[in-house]
């Protein structure tokens, strides 16, 4: 849980993970330039677990001369999810809810459903 600039509390996708895992994944050459990876310890001295993590990383990269951290966000999300030793419980709950909802509301292909015939809108099958 972090506090945003407007005072609201919440969390993002990244903040669902362990903070050590988040930082370790961020400071890889897959996510940022090697020259910034090399100064990870500098970031750690200023990191505040209670403020938005991604913004802190982006600001650190920007201050270190990397103006394009935003282009790494998708890669970061993928690496976080793939390398996490445990999935956050909220992800498991969400996956279970999706599976349950799909089971209760099974998808039917449009070719296998009977659609109403509405004059001027639908046309006969050809």
Q: What pLDDT is recorded for position 124?
A: 61
Which H, E and C letters describe the chain, residue by residue?
CEECCCCCEECCCHHHCCHHHHHHHHCCCCCCCHHHHCCHHHHHHHCCCCCCHHHHHHHHHHHCCCCCHHHHHHHHHHHHHHHCCCCCHHHHHHHHHHHHHHHHCCCCCHHHCCCCCCCCCCCCCC
Q: What pLDDT is recorded for position 34?
A: 93
Provide mean pLDDT across the span 23-41.
Answer: 94
70-125 pLDDT, tens digit per residue, is 788 889 988 998 888 877 777 778 778 878 887 887 766 666 667 677 776 666 65
pLDDT higher than threshold 80 for residue 1:
no
Domain extents for the chain? 2-110
Q: What pLDDT is recorded for position 57?
A: 93
């Amino acid at each position: 849980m972090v506090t945003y600039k407007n005072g609201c509390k919440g969390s993002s996708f990244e903040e669902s993970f362990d903070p050590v895992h988040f930082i370790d994944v961020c400071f890889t050459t897959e996510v940022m330039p090697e020259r910034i990876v090399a100064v990870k310890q500098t970031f750690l001295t200023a990191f505040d677990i209670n403020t938005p993590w991604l913004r802190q990383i982006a600001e650190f990269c920007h201050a270190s001369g990397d103006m394009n951290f935003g282009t790494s966000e998708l890669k970061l999300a993928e690496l976080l999810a793939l390398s996490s030793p445990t999935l956050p419980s909220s992800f498991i709950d969400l996956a279970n809810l999706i599976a349950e909802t799909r089971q209760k509301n099974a998808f039917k292909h449009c070719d296998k459903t009977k659609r109403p015939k509405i004059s001027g809108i639908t046309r006969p099958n050809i």
